[in-house]
Structure 1
Amino acid sequence: MGLRLGIDIGTSGCRAAAIDMAGTPVDSERVAVAEPQRDGVAVEQDPALWWEGTRSAIRGLLQRVDASAITGIAVDGTSGTVLVTNAAGEPLAPALLYNDARATAEGATIDAVAPPESPARGAGSGLARALWLLSRHPGATHLLHQADWITGRLTGRFGHSDPNNALKTGWDPVAGRWPAWLEETGLDHSLLPAVHPAGTDLGPLDPAVAADLGLPAGTRAGAGTTDSTAAVLAAGAAQPGDAVTVLGSTLVLKVVSPEPVAEAATGVYSQPFGRYWLAGGASNSGGAVLRRFFDDEQLAALTPTLDPEQPTGLDYYPLPAPGERFPDNDPDKAPRMEPRPAEDAKFLQGLLEGMSAIEAAGYARLRELGAPAPQRVMTLGGGARNPAWTRIREHALGVAVSARPDAEPAAGTARLAPV
């Protein structure tokens, strides 16, 4: 039985997963990675931590699965995380994480020349962070994304990426090229990676690396993807109208669409997804709000007491702090979580109803932009384990909601590994 491996690199952990040739998960291994360093709006991390996490996760997994059966490997990483390296792929500085927000001047430069629908606009884009790094390391040879660099470490060949990771660095997925306007930002095109469709066979692993990891010498690497796209692959979304909601610290919505849709103001963009597109956006609401008021033990105790068939009428808009990006772009939007009832269960249900309403409004906004209405919604993330929330969301969305809390992005990425 052949096996394929997927690697999912997060900010605090790395997971390796094995699937069989039918796409069925076989086993997985997770190892912790030291948290990024934060200093105000600066968020950075030593890429060596990702590589050590990858090595440990693969070695741990291979203690339980047949290494000789593995044919290929692919990697996903956090969207918008970038680093610069020399010709040998050695990082010249810590990587800037997806939520590093110090590149304000670079964001203004991009906004002056980028098309209005480009997801590379603004200080929060991968392109802005790339320009910030390159201005401080003019001797760089490669500009890479998190998944690109790990794939390069596996193969010994750097300078390759995929459309999903490259999107927020300026890649035009419709034209299928790095656009000419990037030169107006001062970016040297020679630093940009070659972009291959996700799953493209990039060739064999470096023999010494394969031996170090315990993988067969013939193991091949596939072009990877971003963590959110990997989650969609893991959930099993495939046809237009298939939607995936990730209930993590934030609320991320994705729907398979026949055509790309975009709205830069609310962060809506579309990624290539086979012969279709994956349109989505992300609200600042989500599990981070719940964590302000309840721990795991309290949530477990309160959930069975909720009554999804009897709405509270509290009309909350739960946010962890002022500011919203999707479905409305309002940097000053205030959280609305009052009045707070005396009963904790009613308060919790009100928060869940508020987040469900945001989810419904998000899918409605995607529909207004041209994406299809959800025909079914698959749910990942910690919130997928809450049956009351699932029922509340079904009422709000008007479609069936299935919980896939154990669907791992690493297993989705493994689908991109060469056979």
Structure 2
Amino acid sequence: MVAQGTGDGWLGIDLGTQSVRALVVGADGSVLGAGAASLTGRRAGVRHEQDPDRWWEAVCAASRTALAATRGARIGGLAVCGTSGTVLLTDGTGRPLTPALMYDDGRAAAQGARARAAGLVVQDTWALPKVLWLTDAYGRGRVTHQPDVIVTRLTGTPPPADSSHALKTGYDVEHATWPAAALGALGLARDDFPRVVRPGTLLGEVGASAAGATGIPAGTPVVAGMTDGCAAQLASGALRPGAWNSVLGTTLVLKGASRSPVRDPTGVVYNHRAPDGTWLPGGASSVGAGALTARFPDADPALMDERAAAHEPSGAVAYPLLSPGERFPFRAPNATALLLGEPAGDADVWAALLQGVALTERLCLDYLHHLGAPLDGPLTFTGGAARSPYWNQLRADVLGRPARIPEQTEPALGMAVLAAHATSPDPTATLPGTADRMVRVRTFLEPRPERTARFAEPYTRLLDALAGRGWLPAPVAAHARARLHTDTTP
């Protein structure tokens, strides 16, 4: 039952790579309205940019569609998530001065090396190296993350950043501070970095102009969001220690819950701070479903899945990177996509890509186990790829562990959950409790041991190939081999 004064539903907005999604969700998890609008970007080699103005146009279209379906439902609040590591520079009013460098733009390798030399643990595709690249190319500006562009248009004022998006810009979430000395050593002005607040913080209200453009009622509370990976974790309900969510969309993101940070001196695994002060460790790979659309742009996924079922295992072993460079389960800026062996036609290539993502997912869990992360809770699958029943079962088989799939697998649901929690009038409400009420699990998967055994040899081949190229550290490969004949729980 909706608490009095909070509305009939809450709006979650997800700024994805290929589209903006908007969901209006009720207190029991029912979807009252949904909308989507496509996005395009500019890719060329390691370059990946988008036009920030297009984000607003897509938000307006997606929100109006979602709200039209609700037939006048009261909206209790909204939150916005974006792709982790996407950044741009704006002026003091929030007007974009540069294109947005997307999460996997790889042009800032030299700047990443400079940041690490200054003592910061960052990866080349993180936002901070891109801030340096943008400053070198365009001059100074206000450091702005993807959702901040939308919140500025909604409320009329540039907002503070949420700590989730600020993490990859160098923000120290454990001590709640920007590393002023290191930023100064890099020639960056501290004043160009925003104030930071915890996700769920009230940022303002939707103004009249934005209400006219989006259909969102004026006065609707706008709360600070999180990255898309964290939003998907909220949508999965994986918020109690030991629970993990695997988000498979264009790329692969694993996020878990822990009472304390998971320490990784290489920076491959990093820790977001949950709205309630607990920790959300995880990592983001460049492997994912984007490799399927890149290789087979006009394919019918359901038909290809059906044909791929005859190739378990595939005649080839794939490491299906979407773009050069890998971030998780190892850091290798020079890594490239692999296809080892001779696949027997397109169906076998499709099978190799599906299986390659699943094998990478297993390696991610093995790496987390290597670091001592808690893995004894439930595993949930979300993201666009969770719409494929065949791939879901294949992943459970390769991992050798049970998994569950919520009815809604989208980050936009996670933002609706966050908005509902942040605007609740109940001071005893908890974020996991809100998620338990709003996240509906539709499918439970059990691994088939005989299928799991089939993928031991391809997994070994992949480990050997990654280690042989110097990308995967030898101790990590050895740890993964030692766990080969167990499941991916402790």
TM-score (norm 1): 0.88
2:13 is matched with which residue?
7
1:91 is matched with which residue?
96
Deviates more, 1:392-401 or 1:329-338: 329-338
Q: CA deviation at 1:22?
A: 3.9
2:393 is matched with which residue?
391
Alignment counterpart, residue 32 of structure 1, candidates 26, 29, 38? 38
Query: After superposition, what is the alpha-carbon deviation per residue over 1:114-159, rounded to whole angstroms, capped at 9, x for unaligned?
Result: 34xx3xx24322111112223444453x211011121121111214
**Superposition pairs for residues 309-388 of structure 1, below 5 Å?**
312=313, 316-320=317-321, 324-331=326-333, 335-342=337-344, 348-388=350-390
SS, match of residue 60 in structure 1? helix
Separation of aligned partners in 1, 2:113 and 2:258:
31
Counterpart code for 1:278? L
Task: Verify the 8 A CA contact 2:315 2:344 in the aligned structure 1.
Answer: no
Separation of aligned partners in 1, 2:132 and 2:336:
32
**Superposition pairs for residues 248-327 of structure 1, below 5 Å?**
248-263=249-264, 265=266, 267-273=268-274, 274-291=276-293, 299-304=301-306, 312=313, 316-320=317-321, 324-327=326-329
Q: Which runs of 5+ in 2 are unaligned?
A: 1-6, 424-490
1:164 is matched with which residue?
164
Alignment counterpart, residue 72 of structure 1, candidates 70, 73, 77? 77
The number of equivalent residue pairs is 412
SS, match of residue 129 in structure 2? helix
> Highest relative contact order (Cα 8 Å, sep 6+), 1 or 2?
1
Separation of aligned partners in 2, 1:366 and 1:356:
15
Counterpart code for 1:161? A
Query: After superposition, what is the alpha-carbon deviation per residue over 1:246-288, rounded to whole angstroms, capped at 9, x for unaligned?
Result: 2223322222222212436463211112332222223333323
Over 3 Å counting, the alpha-carbon distance change for 1:330 and 1:46 in structure 2 is closer
Separation of aligned partners in 2, 1:43 and 1:349:
27
SS, match of residue 413 in structure 2? helix
Over 3 Å counting, the alpha-carbon distance change for 1:391 and 1:36 in structure 2 is closer
SS, match of residue 62 in structure 1? helix
Separation of aligned partners in 1, 2:324 and 2:218:
52
1:188 is matched with which residue?
189
Over 3 Å counting, the alpha-carbon distance change for 1:355 and 1:94 in structure 2 is closer
Separation of aligned partners in 1, 2:405 and 2:417:
20
Task: Verify the 8 A CA contact 1:110 1:122 in the aligned structure 2.
Answer: no
Q: Which runs of 5+ in 1 are unaligned?
A: none
Task: Verify the 8 A CA contact 1:43 1:97 in the aligned structure 2.
Answer: yes
Counterpart code for 2:383? G
Q: CA deviation at 1:390?
A: 2.6
Task: Verify the 8 A CA contact 1:144 1:159 in the aligned structure 2.
Answer: no
Separation of aligned partners in 1, 2:88 and 2:324:
30
Task: Verify the 8 A CA contact 2:318 2:352 in the aligned structure 1.
Answer: no
Q: What percent of counterpart residues are identical?
A: 38
TM-score (norm 2): 0.76
Counterpart code for 1:112? A
Report the aligned-residue RMSD. Answer: 2.8
Alignment counterpart, residue 26 of structure 2, candidates 11, 17, 20? 20
1:197 is matched with which residue?
198
1:59 is matched with which residue?
64
Task: Verify the 8 A CA contact 1:58 1:213 in the aligned structure 2.
Answer: yes
